[in-house]
Amino acid sequence: MAKIPGKLALHGTVLGAGLLPLGVLLFGALTDRLDANPIEHITHSTGKWAIRLLLLSLAVRPAQRWLGWSWALPLRRTLGLLAFTYACLHFLTWLVLDQFFDWEAILEDVAERRYITMGFAAFLCLVPLAITSTRSWIRRLGRRWISLHRLVYAAAVFAVIHYLWQVKADWLPPAIHAAILAALLAARFRFRTRPVSVAQSPGGS
Amino acid sequence: MLIRQAPEIRSSEITDPGLYFRRREFLRGLAAAGVTASLPAMAGLPGSASAATPALERKLDFRSPGPFATDETWTDRDDATRYNNFYELGTDKGDPKRNAHRLVTEPWKVTIDGEVAKPGTIDLEDLIRPHPLEERIYRLRCVEAWSMVIPWVGFPLGDLLKRFQPTSRAKYVAFESILDPEHLPGQRRNVLDWPYVEGLRIDEAMHELTILAVGMYGAVLPNQNGAPLRLVVPWKYGFKSIKSIVRIRLLETQPPTSWNISAPREYGFYSNVNPAVSHPRWSQKRERRIGEWRKRPTLPFNGYADRVASLYAGMDLNKSF
């Protein structure tokens, strides 16, 4: 029984920390403290946090394998849903505040600006994952749920490319995110291949 | 969104520009006389305006209203001085203001050379002194699809160039910003090829709308806005209006320009504001005026077409973007 309050506290802490950037943003918006271009500020901030939280959710499995953090596994859903929350806010900021429902401009952006196409694709990948994140959907889909949720890799790759393709001159910030994503994917790839290689060479070290 | 006009400046607050730009001579004179130690007690003395006084409190004397003024509402002064692209001071919009103190503007010399009869390197004071200052309230359109309305204080670039007597071979003007990686944090990384360079065709440089600015909002330019001397070409995207100029060269051939070197597909030599030619990654049809929520349509040549379109007669602006 002692485990449950611990779990709740863990989820609560992660949820609270994850919502902190949103709180800062809301506080800034309400007190007129965002910079001179608030719409751009909100767009950039929500976009960056969506990517960071997505990367964090992808870091959980490697953390369990390499550091033995089994307690962290249930956090994947919390982190994933937080990432989706920021992605929604990011998408809505663009749709409503930036374009103000100018459908012609919106369609032109999605079709012709490849970084927006990429961002839109990343967002679309996240939608079914968020919808099927409940316990009943996990039960209903069974093994297919696991296959479906591999979409998270596509979402993360698309999201980081979306970030990279907007760069005017300074590649460093998106490059750091890309490097982290590459490391996380490489770590996974190693887990997959390791048991196989062990099986193939039982006498190996 | 609060948009206010700059406060009216009482004439008692205005520093004579000649005196302001001769302030170092003035200070040297004071030092020689052994009175420097008592300077703080002489606050309010125009000559004592120094780095300790914020630029925006150092008022200038200038003709106002100047010519070609737009009657649109000025961009809030705080916004115009905290939302800047000045990569020498950092790539975030807020970095230039945060790092403004790292730009050392005193002493400041400008070299004018190349195809001129009278080349030379002269102190900023001597460069500016012969030119009466005037206010130019211009729209500023950034290539990133935001815009401002800024009351600059400056003088026509053409008047300055004439003083140095361009030769008949002078077809282009090349500008160079300060190179000081020791102080400028942005120049420690090769985000762009330093120093920042820009260029104009000679007819663009001699055009009546093209000015060198030394101030904005009635006062000396803050460092983050390109102190102490910057170009303002209102019908071109903002990055053409090079900041913190140390060299002006007249040339027979078209000079390289920083953003064109960095991404030739995205930034051309001309970079005239043109809603019909998209940046490869975003539309230039509309812009967000800083301080407004809804976007507004972008005008050809940033609304200065009647004065400058003739400069480009016969050119394909889709190719010469």
The sign of the torsion formed by the CA atoms of A172, A177, A181, A186 equals positive
Q: How far is A150 from chain B, CA to nearest CA, in Å?
A: 30
Examine residue B279 and state whether it is found in any structural domain, yes or no. yes
Rounded to an integer, the average pLDDT of A11-28 is 95
Question: What is the pLDDT, as a whole number, of residue A5?
Answer: 62
- Chain B, residues 125-144, CB within 8 A of chain A, namely 144
Examine residue B320 and state whether it is found in any structural domain, yes or no. no
Closest Cβ–Cβ partner in B144, B189, B281 for A113 = B281
CB contacts of A105 in chain B (<8 Å) are 283, 285-286
CB contact under 8 A, A37 and B192: no
Domain of residue B210: give its range: 62-312
Residue A66 CB: number of other CB atoms within 10 A? 11
Model pLDDT for residues A23-32, shown as the tens digit of each residue: 999 999 999 8
Q: CA-based angle A106:B74:B79, to the nearest 5?
A: 70
CB contacts of A36 in chain B (<8 Å) are 76, 78-80, 82-83, 93, 290-291
- Same domain, yes or no: B37 and B186: no
CB contact under 8 A, A35 and B94: yes
- Same domain, yes or no: B77 and B46: no
Question: What is the pLDDT, as a whole number, of residue B51?
Answer: 53
Examine residue B108 and state whether it is found in any structural domain, yes or no. yes
- Same domain, yes or no: B124 and B48: no
CB contact under 8 A, A108 and B91: no
Examine residue B318 and state whether it is found in any structural domain, yes or no. no
Checking if the pLDDT of A42 tops 60, the result is yes
Question: What is the pLDDT, as a whole number, of residue B277?
Answer: 96
CB contact under 8 A, A105 and B93: no
CB contact under 8 A, A36 and B262: no
Examine residue B317 and state whether it is found in any structural domain, yes or no. no
Q: What backbone torsions phi and psi does residue B220 show, to the nearest 5 degrees?
A: -60, 145
Q: Which residue has the higher pLDDT, A5 or B100?
A: B100
In chain B the first and final C-alpha atoms are separated, in Å, by 34
Question: What is the pLDDT, as a whole number, of residue A205?
Answer: 37
Full 3-state SS string of A6-20:
HHHHHHHHHHHHHHH
B167 interfaces chain A, CB cutoff of 8 Å = no
Label residue A60 exposed, middle or buried (CB < 10 Å: 0-12, 13-18, 19+). Answer: buried
The DSSP code sequence of B127-194 is HHTTSPPEEEEEEEE-TTSEEEEEEEEEEEHHHHHHHT-B-TT--EEEEEE---TTT-GGGGS-SSPS
B191 interfaces chain A, CB cutoff of 8 Å = yes
- Same domain, yes or no: B82 and B102: yes
Cβ(B138)–Cβ(B233) below 8 Å: no
Per-residue pLDDT of chain B (321 residues; tens, 9 = 90+): 455 555 455 554 555 555 555 555 544 444 444 444 433 333 333 334 455 678 888 899 999 989 999 999 999 999 999 999 999 999 999 999 999 999 999 999 999 999 999 999 999 999 999 999 999 999 999 999 999 999 999 999 999 999 999 999 999 999 999 999 999 999 999 999 999 999 999 999 999 999 999 999 999 999 999 999 999 999 999 999 999 999 999 999 999 999 999 999 999 999 999 999 999 999 999 999 999 999 999 999 999 999 999 999 999 999 999
Closest Cβ–Cβ partner in B83, B281, B293 for A35 = B83
- Same domain, yes or no: B145 and B242: yes
- Same domain, yes or no: B79 and B152: yes
Mutate to test the interface with A, among B97, B282, B286 (most CBs of A within 10 A): B282
Place of tokens 């040297």: B28
- Same domain, yes or no: B40 and B68: no
Pairing of strands B109-114, B245-251: parallel
Q: What is the CATH number of the domain that holds B239?
A: 3.90.420.10
Checking if the pLDDT of A49 tops 90, the result is yes
Q: Look up residue B248 and give its two tokens.
A: 């002006």
- Same domain, yes or no: B16 and B77: no
Residue A166 CB: number of other CB atoms within 10 A? 17
Cβ(B157)–Cβ(B224) below 8 Å: no
Q: How far is A204 from chain B, CA to nearest CA, in Å?
A: 47
- Same domain, yes or no: B136 and B85: yes
- Same domain, yes or no: B89 and B202: yes
CB contacts of A40 in chain B (<8 Å) are 146, 288
Q: How far is B18 from chain A, CA to nearest CA, in Å?
A: 34
Q: CA-based angle B170:B176:B178, to the nearest 5?
A: 155
Question: What is the pLDDT, as a whole number, of residue A200?
Answer: 43
Model pLDDT for residues A110-140, shown as the tens digit of each residue: 999 999 999 999 999 999 999 999 999 999 9
ipTM: 0.85
- Same domain, yes or no: B48 and B67: no
Mutate to test the interface with A, among B2, B78, B91, B266 (most CBs of A within 10 A): B91
CB contacts of B189 in chain A (<8 Å) are 170, 172
Examine residue B187 and state whether it is found in any structural domain, yes or no. yes
> Distance between CA A74 and CA A164 in Å, rounded?
30
Mutate to test the interface with A, among B78, B88, B196, B281 (most CBs of A within 10 A): B281
- Same domain, yes or no: B77 and B168: yes
CB contact under 8 A, A165 and B281: yes
Residue A8 confidence class, pLDDT cut points 50, 70, 90: confident
Q: Which residues contact A160 (CB under 8 A, 6 or more apart)?
A: A51, A174, A177, A178, A181
Q: Look up residue B309 and give its two tokens.
A: 């379109």
Q: Report how many domains make up chain B.
A: 2
Q: Look up residue B149 and give its two tokens.
A: 């309305």
> Distance between CA A75 and CA A152 in Å, rounded?
15
Question: What is the pLDDT, as a whole number, of residue B34?
Answer: 44
Cβ(B259)–Cβ(B121) below 8 Å: no
Residue A49 CB: number of other CB atoms within 10 A? 23
CB contacts of B290 in chain A (<8 Å) are 36-37
Mutate to test the interface with B, among A168, A170, A171 (most CBs of B within 10 A): A168
